[in-house]
Amino acid sequence: MSQSKKLLVIHGPNLNLLGEREPGVYGTQSYASINRDIQEECRRLGMDCDVFQSNSEGAIVTKFHEARGVYQGIVLNAGAYTHYSIAIRDAISAVKIPTVEVHLSNIHAREEFRHHSVLAAVCLGQISGFGPMSYLLAVRALAAHLEQEG
Q: Identify which of 92, 91, 119 has the alpha carbon closest to the alpha carbon of residue 107.
A: 119
Catalytic annotation, pick one of 11, 26, 31, 81: 26
Catalytic annotation, pick one of 31, 71, 103, 135: 103
Give the CA distances from residue 64 to residues 4, 45, 50, 93, in Å, rounded to whole numbers and listed in that order. 20, 23, 13, 10
Which is it for strands 73-77 and 125-128: parallel, antiparallel or unpaired? unpaired
Is 108 a known active-site residue?
A: no
Is 103 a known active-site residue?
A: yes
Q: Is 128 helix (H, G, I), strand (E, B) or coil?
A: strand
- Taking CA 142 as the corner, what is the angle to CA 46 and CA 54, rounded to the nearest 5 degrees? 95
Q: Identify which of 125, 150, 129 has the alpha carbon closest to the alpha carbon of residue 140.
A: 125
Active site residues: 26, 103
